[in-house]
Amino acid sequence: MGMRLSGQREFTKDVIQSFFVEVWEKQVWEKEVEYMTAYLHKAFYRKVLAEMKKQRRRAEVSMEESIELKIPSYEALLIELQQNEALQQRLNQAISQLPDQQRMVLNMRFQEGMNYDEIATQTGNSRQTIYNQIHAAVKKMRKNFREG
């Protein structure tokens, strides 16, 4: 029954354990209950629902806390924006130092999202040539980026 309600094996095991503890503490077997099996089923059903409700509340609270913690300050956003702009300028400078052919295939690959075969077809070069050009361009960009 617990698995059908929650769909979580470990959660159900935990609820069963706490349910048995409660039954033991209340000494239910000593009470005069006409239909003990039905009583235990209903009590367990209610326990599972209550624990699921608690779990959902904890998840909502932790989500709210994480949302509050992850909102950066205005100053942090400005600093990040400036760093991104500086990084973009360095990247653009590294790209501008590449030969035209390498710049073109890089643009086709990473800006237009074309694969190596499509670039090869469009430029009239072999797939291996395109691969080599992109590899050389990235290697030059790394060198230029580190120096710049």
Residue-wise pLDDT for 50-100, tens only, equals 888 888 777 776 666 665 556 666 777 788 888 888 888 888 888 888 899
Query: Residue 28: is its pLDDT beyond 70?
Result: no
Say if CB 105 and CB 119 are below 8 A apart: yes
Band of pLDDT at residue 19, cut at 50, 70 and 90: confident
Residues 6+ apart with CB under 8 A from 15: 2, 6, 44, 47, 48, 51
Enter the CATH code of domain 85-147: 1.10.10.10
33-51 confidence digits (pLDDT tens): 777 778 777 877 888 888 8
- Domain-by-domain residue ranges, the chain? 2-70, 85-147
Please say whether the beta carbons of 148 and 96 come within 8 A: no
SS3 call for 73: coil
Check residue 56 and give left, alpha or beta (phi > 0: left; psi -120 to 50: alpha).
Answer: alpha
